[in-house]
Amino acid sequence: MREHRLVTVTLNPAVDRVIEAPGFAVGSQVTGRIIAQYPTGRGITMSRALAALGQRSIATGFVGRGELGMFEEHLERIARGRAVVQFLVVRARTRDNISVVDPVEDSETHIRDAGFAVQPDDVQRIESKLAMLARRETIMCFGGSLPPGIEPDRFAHIVSRCSSQGALVALDVSTAALEAVRDQKIWLVRVNSKQLAGITGQTLKDDDQFVSAARSLASSGGGAFQHVVATRGADGACLVGPDVTLLGRVSCHPGRVVSTAGCAECLVAGLVASTTTGKGWTEAFREGLAVATANAIGREAGEIDDEDLAEFRFMAMVEELGESTSA
């Protein structure tokens, strides 16, 4: 089987600054320290995780002119030479995201900037770039929010153009972007439980309702998306697709968790990396769960340790057709 070429797309990147602040509280003055600072964005995290899994990718999207060198150096170094950087520069500064980690209260607080505003010529450039990359035997992985200047309808047009040229499209994007493509036959869509409840209007009190809601978005349940993976944090995830319905989770002591930032896109990276090399969906789902959990115990999004990954592959529990198995 010929492997697919992988392309990750980050339209609204950021520089993540992670601050550890014991006893953090709104309105108070506390002492903290920066424990991590690095370029990020869901597509960038996917490229980093894919590299850790031995997969090459092209990382593209937008970046501010002043931060281009930082992003190129970071990905070239951290992705171990397995990510080809092809960002398009915009005339603005890349946004900052701040995460405050409180080890005393075991909490995380995330402050997200909206991002730079892209101009009409920027949108045209990225559309042309992605159309050039989209072809058969290519998986286009879109991750993250839309920057001001790209409306959901225009995003839907960009995705449709990629699909029409034969590429498989995987989406881990905002609710507004997902709503705009609900009539398209997308290969893979990742949603969190909040998105799932909001889009479907269903309650998610138990496993049956959770899976039922995911199925309603999938083509097997009357929706347009071919495969839907729905995540719910430490409670695991489900995967619904043609002839497959899976529930899974990985048990990990809460004390080992450093940051959950990047877990969702790491799950997608694990799924994509496995399916492109011919593995079945059950094995791919197990891999995605393991990669996501390994990410949670690292300091940076997409930081995957080989020993941790091997441990969580063993620990991953996947239930298919009422039967529970472990790796």
Q: Is the pTM of this model over 0.95?
A: no
Two tokens, residue 46: 């996917």
**What DSSP assignment string belongs to 266-321?**
HHHHHHHHHHTTT--HHHHHHHHHHHHHHHHTSSSTT---HHHHHHHHHH-EEEET
pLDDT of 325 above 80: no
Per-residue pLDDT at 2? 54
Nearest Cα to Cα of residue 187 among 218, 153, 156: 218
Per-residue pLDDT at 220? 72
Among 24-28, 46-50, 261-265, 319-323, the range scoring the smallest mean pLDDT is 319-323
pLDDT more than 70, % of the chain: 97
For the segment 192-201, the average pLDDT, to the nearest whole number, is: 95
For strands 14-20 and 33-40, give the pairing: antiparallel
Q: How confident is the model at residue 320 (pLDDT cuts 50, 70, 90)?
A: confident
Please give the tally of structural domains in the chain: 1
DSSP state of 300: S
Q: How confident is the model at residue 259 (pLDDT cuts 50, 70, 90)?
A: confident
Going 193 to 199 to 205 to 209, the CA torsion angle's sign is negative
Q: Is 245 helix (H, G, I), strand (E, B) or coil?
A: strand
Q: How confident is the model at residue 135 (pLDDT cuts 50, 70, 90)?
A: very high
User: Cβ-count burial of 248 within 10 angstroms (0-12 exposed, 13-18 middle, 19+ buried)?
Assistant: buried
What is the span of the domain harbouring residue 98?
Answer: 5-326
Residue 257 CA to residue 161 CA, distance in Å, equals: 40
pLDDT more than 90, % of the chain: 75
For the segment 165-191, the average pLDDT, to the nearest whole number, is: 96
pLDDT of 157 above 50: yes
Q: What CATH number does the domain containing 321 carry?
A: 3.40.1190.20
For the segment 189-209, the average pLDDT, to the nearest whole number, is: 94
Q: How confident is the model at residue 324 (pLDDT cuts 50, 70, 90)?
A: very low
